[in-house]
Amino acid sequence: MQRSMRVGAYPSECESAIVGLICCDAVANYYDTLPDRRVVSSVEPGYLRKLLPSGPPQEGEKWEEIQKDIESKIIPGLTHWYFISSSVYLRLAL
């Protein structure tokens, strides 16, 4: 389902509910696309600082624009621990 919403200050209750649904869709899409993603991050530490603006936006942005930034700038820096083929051994110390 395609939903559109401008994220800004003081959303109404209805707007908040819509943004919540959009976020749930984004999380579901992330898990659905895990098999197509690299398990280990493909970027160098500190890469994100160069990609982000020096300050916050003056006005809210459409969720689609925020989501594009998440997908193109943030997701490449993640290691996808929950993907079945990662087979990562994590030692737990008590």
Whether 18 is covered by a domain: the verdict is yes
Does 20 reside within a domain? Answer: yes
Separation CA 73–CA 67 (nearest Å) = 10
Nearest to 88 by CA among 49, 23, 39: 39
- State how many domains the chain has: 1
The mean pLDDT value of the chain amounts to 78
pLDDT digits (tens, 9 = 90+) for 31-72: 888 888 888 888 999 999 999 889 988 888 887 888 899 989
The domain in which residue 31 lies consists of 12-50+61-78
